[in-house]
Amino acid sequence: MLSRRVSTEFVIFLSLLLAGLLFGNIVLIVLSLVPFFFLVLGVEVRQPWRLGTSLPEQKRLAIVNEVVEVTSEFNVGEGTGMVTCHEQLPRHFQLVEGSNFHVFFKEDGAVQRSFSYKVKCTKRGVYQIGAHTLESYNALGLEEMMVVRFDKSTDLLVIHRSIDPRRMRDPRLTSRIPLPITSISRIGPLTTDFKEIREYRPGDMFKSINWKATARLSNGQKLMVNEYEREGRKTVWILLDCGPGMAQGTNVQNAFEYAVQAASGLADYYLGRNCSVGMVLFNKDKVIYPDLGRRQRELIGRTLMRMEMSFMDGGLRYLVRSLKGHLQGTSPLFIVITNVRDRNVDDIKNGMRDLKRYSGPRATSIVIHVSGNHLGAEGPLDDLASVMANMNDLPELKELRKEGTFVVPWDPQRQNLQRMLLFGVGRRG
C-alpha cells in the first residue's frame, strides 16, 4: 500500500512541470523530473515482504534468578529496505545480555536471520517467550510500513529452587529445630525403606548397628545404627500468610515471594518423604487438606504458582477455628510462615493456642519469621535502618517464644532457604 509521501511527491512533480510549461522555464521542467524519477524508482523497488518466523526449541523450566538464553529465527522474502524484529519481554524479566530488538537493512533476495539474548527470571510464574513482531520499510519510504505479529510462543515455567534432601539428611548434623526429625511418625511397625543413619540410643536392636558407618563417622567412639521408615505418616500443616503485611520489599523481591518459596520448598520436601501435607493460606481463606503423593505435590505447586498477595486481613485464628474438625485427635507438625509484627502478633499467638488446643499437647509448632526489612535496601544508611527495624521485631518474637512456639527468623537477603532450615545446626562428635 502506497504511503502519503507518494501523493506529496506527485504534487511537487506536477507543480514544477506546470510552472515550467506556463512560464516557459526549462529549469523548472528539468527539476520536475527529480520527484518523477524518485516516484518511479521508489515504486519499482518493493519493500521486503513474505515475512515469516520459526520458533526454535526453548527452555521450558527455569529457577528464580536463573539466566535463560532466548533464540529467535525469522525469514524475509523478496524486497529491499529496513527490517526490524522486536520481542516483548515478560513483565518481571531482566535483560542481562544482548538485545530483544534487531534491525538490519535488507538487499534484494530472500534472507534468514537469527538473534539471541539472555534474560534473568526474577519472579515465579508461567511466562510466554518467543512471540515477536516483524516490521518492514520501503527503502525510499513510498509504501506503508508492513507489520506482522507472530503470537506463537513457548511457555516458560519459573519455579523456586527446591530443598536438597541429601543435605538435610546428613547423619553428621544435629539441629535444635524440630525439622525434619519429628515429621515422621515414631509409632507403627518398621518397613524396609531406609531412612537415615543415626547415633545409637538405648533400646535399639543390636542387629541394626552399622559397623562401617561407626568406624567412618565417629572413629569408633559412638555407635551408629541404621534407621528405617515406619508405617504411618505424620501430618504436616503449612500455614502461609498471604496478607498485606507481607508486602515488605519491592514488587519482585518481597517477603511474600520468599514466603511462597519457603512454603513450596517445605511442601516438596515433606511430600518427598511420604508425609501427609496440607496447606492453609490465611488472609486468603483457602485450604488444601492433607494428602500425600504426586497429585498433592502438583495441586500445591499449581496453587502457589498462581498465588498473589491479598489485601483482606482475616487473620490466622479465624481460619484455624474452621479447621477444628480436621485437627482433633491428631498430633501434626504446624509450620506458620509469616512476617511477625506488632499488628499481627496477638492473632498469631491466639491462633497457635487454638492449634495446640484442638490437636493436643504433642503437636509441634514452628513459626518462620520472614523479615523483609533488608529487601530493596540500597546503601549503608538503608542497611542500618533495616538492622534497626529487625531489632524492633525482637519483642514480638520473644512473645511467641514465651508461648512455647519455636521461632525461626529468616532474612532472605543473607540466608538461603536450606541454610535457614538448618538453623541451630551443630556437628556430632
Whether 123 and 252 have beta carbons less than 8 Å apart is answered as yes
Residue 239 pLDDT > 90, yes or no? yes
Hey, is 92 helix, strand or coil?
coil
Confidence of residue 46 (pLDDT cuts 50, 70, 90): confident
**pLDDT on residue 342:** 81
- CA torsion 358→311→64→413, rounded to 10°? -80
In terms of pLDDT, which residue wins out, 209 or 40?
A: 209
* Domain coordinates in residue numbering, the chain: 4-44, 52-159, 195-230, 232-427
Lowest mean per-residue pLDDT among 87-101, 284-298, 406-420: 406-420
**pLDDT on residue 344:** 84
Residue 150 pLDDT > 60, yes or no? yes
Average pLDDT over residues 105-110: 82
Q: Taking Cα atoms as reference points, which of 90, 151, 154, 152 lies closest to residue 124? A: 90
**pLDDT on residue 179:** 47
b/e code 97-132 from CB counts within 10 Å (16+ = b): eeebebeeebeeeeeeeebebebbbbbbbebebbbb
Three cell numbers written together for 109: 533476495
Residue 382 pLDDT > 70, yes or no? no
**pLDDT on residue 182:** 43
b/e code 262-300 from CB counts within 10 Å (16+ = b): bbbbbbbbbbebebbbbbbbbbbeebbebebeeebbeeb
DSSP structure string for 258-312: HHHHHHHHHHHHHHHTT-EEEEEEETTTEEEEEE-SHHHHHHHHHHHHH------
**pLDDT on residue 183:** 43
Report d(CA 9, CA 229) in Å as an integer.
86
Amino acid at 120: K
- Dihedrals φ, ψ of 20, to 5°? -65, -40
Second CATH level (architecture) for the domain 52-159: Sandwich (2.60)
- Dihedrals φ, ψ of 33, to 5°? -70, -20
Q: Taking Cα atoms as reference points, which of 12, 34, 39 lies closest to residue 143? A: 39
**pLDDT on residue 217:** 79
Residue 176 pLDDT > 60, yes or no? no
**Helix intervals (H) in 156-254:** 165-168, 211-217
Residue 181 pLDDT > 50, yes or no? no
Report d(CA 164, CA 159) in Å as an integer.
15
Residue 423 pLDDT > 50, yes or no? yes
Three cell numbers written together for 64: 528464580
Highest mean pLDDT among 1-10, 150-159, 379-388: 150-159
**pLDDT on residue 429:** 47
In terms of pLDDT, which residue wins out, 256 or 233?
A: 256
Highest mean pLDDT among 206-220, 338-352, 404-418: 338-352
Report d(CA 357, CA 420) in Å as an integer.
28
Three cell numbers written together for 309: 498477595
Domain 232-427, CATH: 3.40.50.410
Respond yes or no on whether the N-terminal peptide bond of residue 171 is cis (omega within 30° of 0): no
Confidence of residue 2 (pLDDT cuts 50, 70, 90): low
Q: What is the pLDDT of residues 152-175, one digit of tens each?
A: 888 888 888 776 655 555 555 555
Average pLDDT over residues 93-118: 86
- Dihedrals φ, ψ of 347, to 5°? -65, -40
Report d(CA 149, CA 126) in Å as an integer.
21
**pLDDT on residue 54:** 75
Whether 153 and 131 have beta carbons less than 8 Å apart is answered as yes
Q: Taking Cα atoms as reference points, which of 227, 354, 345 lies closest to residue 280? A: 354
pTM, full prediction: 0.68
* Mean pLDDT for all residues in the chain: 79
